[in-house]
Structure formats: structure tokens, C-alpha cells
Amino acid sequence: MDALLHLTIIWCSVYAAIFLAGKTRLTPVLYYLAMGALLVNLDILPHEPKEFIRDFAELGIILIMFALGFEESTSNFVKSIKRSWGIALFGAIAPFTWAYMVADYFWDDTNLSIMCGLAMTATAVSLTMAVLKGAGLHRHKAATGIMTSAILDDIASLVLVAILIPVATGGGDVTIEGLALIAGKAIAFFAVVAFVGLWVFPHEMSKRFQKVPLIGRFGIKHLLSFGGGEHTMLGVLLMAVFGGILAHYFGFHPAVGAYMAGLILKEEYFHLGDEHADKHFESTKKIVDNIAFTWIGPVFFVVLGTQILFDWEVLRAIMPQVVVLTTGMFVVQVTSAALAARYTGDFDFKESMMIGFGMLGRAELCFVVLDIAYVQHGILNTEAFFTLMVTAFWLNLAVPVTILLWKPYFEGEKQLFSDKHPKTP
């Protein structure tokens, strides 16, 4: 019964976190972590959770990553790549490099530095889009640029996680042969995902495999329409978990497979040919989001927060690292993303700065890396873990502050002396 009591306490803390997030207009993820840290330091939750809670939390991050992939439109994503590739590339290289250099200077550990770089690479899409929506800017082309670039960053980060985690944890030898083996496994995994997404899932493509058992006779719509569509959610969750298992089979974190499983699902697969064809996708997406972000997914972040045992000596000791990492991350992220948006994406100055500010957030994928590197494998030391957590907090706080401060300039209500040209409509 202890595990159920702990789950009840966690769910109560989720209510409190969502309330505080609504009042402060910050991402609930920050408050989930804070609740976990508060509860463990008050001895209400244990530092080492029960096996049931650990497995429940693992399912939570699988569903979160699946929901993030499921939320993205594959076609819109592909169309936006041409304009946003530079933002994603330079907006990822700069923070990775800075975080790696800072970690290497302070802790002189290559594996630890790699994990710090990975944690600081991926952008928090949900946080930025929520802020832009609240400011009435979510339909602007700058928001599309942020979204596409952040997705590209997330995918690149997932690829790097898939390749570098086995190296850093000793699962692969740091040799040409060992790196080639890990890279080969990563390529094989993404090749399987691409095969499923391009040839197996599309209903019309399955006709090319008519002589192949099951694939030739059934498509993805058959699975989603099973039982008159009443079991669509079951099929979707099955794909999320299967994607995680497939990634684990290839030696990668299940979150990688779950994200890719969500990304290759398209809205058209949910048009089941009845009078409610247009509603199946929206209703399924609503349920997926509810499960992932309301009652299972938050457990992962609260449990991760229970790893934060307050040690004021450690907090005082890491202040130099936090100041250097946070300040540098702010500068290199905004500068690299804004310059890339201006000169590779052909956005104007105001839009480029908005994109730079919008790329500051760090949330889900950052904390997945922290969980793998600190909780599961012990690659990060306590000082590095706290430094990254505090830095992520300040970067996330900077997103709504900078966007709201820049909004008057973005909309032309105020002018900068260096901005002589009117904003492109």
C-alpha cells in the first residue's frame, strides 16, 4: 500500500504544481520537479521510490515523448525544414559546445561533459509555444520557425542520445570499431522507423506487400478502426510502448522510440470512413495529451525531483558554475539562433530576435538526459546535476520574460535605433 500512498501524494502535488504554473505562467515541469524536491526533503516521499513508482514514471516519460512526437505534423515539419535547418543546426551546436566546455573546465570528465552538452541542446517546444499563445503570437511565421527548429533540435538530440549514451555508460567501446557499431545500430533503428513510417503505416502503400503475411492484408487504419474505432486509443498506446521496446532492443532509451512512433503517425490514418471521421484524430490526441501531461507523465518529473536532496554546501559551491553556464547559454543560444534565422532563414531582425528568445527553454528532453545520466547510470556527479537543474530553471524563466519584453518591439509599438526597416507582414 505504500506505493499507492506515494502515488496519491504525487498526484496531489501535480494539482498544486499546475495551479502555481497557471499563476506564474511558467511551465508546469518546473513545479513538478520542485514538488518532488520539496516532498523528499520533508521526508514525505522516499529518495529511492518503490519499484511500482519507478516503472510508472518510466511509462510516463515514454508517453510524454510519444505525445510530443504525435503532436507534430510530419508534412508541415518537412515543408519547414528548408527555412529552419540553419536555426536548428547553429542553435544546437552553440549551446552544446558551451555546456561541454564549461563542464570540461570545472569537472574535467569527458563523459560528464558530453551529458551536459546533450542536456543543454534540446529546446522546450511546449513552453515556448504556450508563452507565444498567451501573447497572441503563436500563428506568426516566427512561431513556425521556432517550432520546426526545436523539433529538428529534438530529433538531432535523440540521435545523439542514441549514439552517445552507450559510449558514456560503457555500453560501447570508445574505439573506431565500437563507435561504428553504435552508429550502425542507430542507423538500423532509424531505418526500421523510416520503413514503418513510409511503407507499412500508409494504408495505400501496404498494397505493395500483398504477398507478405499481415502487412499485405492489413494497414494502420485496420488497427485504429478495430471494434468500430472504440479501441483506437489502445492501438495508439500499443504503438507508443512498442516504439519504446524497439528502441530498447537496439540499446537506446525507450523515449527515443516513443517519440519516433508518435512522429510517424499522421492525422489521415484516423479518418476511418464514418460520419465522425474528422473527430477521431482530435479526440485521440486529446486523450493522449491528457494521459501524458496530466496524470502519468507528471509522475516522471516529480520522481526526478525526489533526486534533489537539498545540500546548501553544494548549492553554494556550484554558484560559479551556474553563473557561467547560465549566462553563456543565454548569450550563445539567442545569438546563434537569431543570426541563423536572419541569414539562413531570411527572417527579419525582429523575428530573428523572437526566435532567439524562443529557443531558450529547456524541459522534457533535457530532463530525460538528466534522468539517464544521473539517476540511471551515475555519469553526472551531484554538482553537475544541480548545476544543470538550476540552469534549466533560469533559462525557462527567461522565455516568458524575454518574449513579453520583446513583444512591443516585435509588433512595432516601440522602435530600436538599430532597426530601420518595417516588419514584414
Cell of 297: 507523465
In this model, does residue 95 exceed pLDDT 60? yes
Q: What is the spatial distance between Cα 62 and Cα 238, in angstroms, rounded to a whole number?
A: 11
Q: In terms of pTM, does the model score above 0.95?
A: no
Tens-place pLDDT, residues 191-242: 888 777 777 676 555 555 555 555 555 667 667 766 666 778 888 888 899 8
Angle, vertex CA 306, rays to CA 115 and CA 389, nearest 5 = 40
What is the per-residue pLDDT across 310-340, written as a single tens digit (0 to 9) for each?
778 888 899 999 999 999 999 999 999 999 9
The span from the CA of 127 to the CA of 29, in Å, is 9
Q: Are 127 and 95 in contact (CB under 8 A)?
A: no
35-39, 64-68, 275-279: least confident range: 275-279
* Alpha carbons 71 and 370: distance in angstroms, whole number: 23
Residue given cell 522510440 in the structure block: 257
Maximum mean pLDDT: which of 63-67, 307-311, 382-386: 382-386
The answer to which of 58-72, 308-322, 350-364, 380-394 has the lowest mean pLDDT is 58-72
Residue 127 has pLDDT above 70, yes or no: no
List, in sequence order, the alpha helices (H) in 293-381.
Answer: 297-305, 312-317, 319-343, 349-358, 364-370
Q: Is the confidence at residue 421, as pLDDT, over 80?
A: no
The pLDDT score that the predictor gives to residue 340 is 92
Q: Look at residue 423 in the predicted model and tell me its pLDDT.
A: 47
Is the sign of the CA dihedral 284, 53, 125, 15 positive or negative?
positive
Per-residue model confidence (pLDDT) at position 97:
94
What is the DSSP-derived secondary structure letter of residue 375? I
**DSSP, residue by residue, 193-224:** HHHIIIIISSTTGGGGGTTSTTTTT--HHHHH
Q: What is the pLDDT of residue 91?
A: 86
Range with the poorest average pLDDT among 33-37, 56-60, 132-136, 185-189: 132-136
Give residue 425's pLDDT band: very low, low, confident or very high (50, 70, 90).
very low
Q: What are phi and psi of 11, to 5 degrees?
A: -65, -35
Among residues 40, 13, 48, the alpha carbon closest in space to that of 28 is found at: 13
420 vs 190, more confident: 190
Under 8 Å between Cβ of 84 and 145 = yes
Share of the chain above pLDDT 70, in %: 78
CA–CA separation, 335 and 90 (whole Å): 10
Region 367-382 average pLDDT: 85
Per-residue pLDDT tens digits for 16-26: 999 998 887 67
Question: Phi/psi of residue 176, each to 5°?
Answer: -60, -45
- Whether the predicted pLDDT of 419 surpasses 70: no
Mean pLDDT, rounded, for 296-321: 85
- Residue 371 makes CB contacts below 8 A (sequence gap 6+) with 61, 300, 304
Domains along the sequence of the chain with CATH:
2-410 (1.20.1530.20)
Which of 39-48, 64-73, 397-406 has the least mean pLDDT?
Answer: 64-73
Each residue of 19-48: b (16+ CB within 10 Å) or e?
A: eebeeeebbbbbbbbbbbbbbbbeeebeee
pLDDT at residue number 130: 57
What is the rounded average pLDDT of the residues 239-258?
82
28-37, 71-80, 361-370, 400-409: least confidently modelled range: 71-80
Which tops the pLDDT comparison, 387 or 424? 387
- pLDDT band for position 136 (cuts 50, 70, 90): confident
- Are 359 and 92 in contact by the 8 Å Cβ rule? The answer is no
Least confident of 165-174, 387-396, 410-419: 165-174
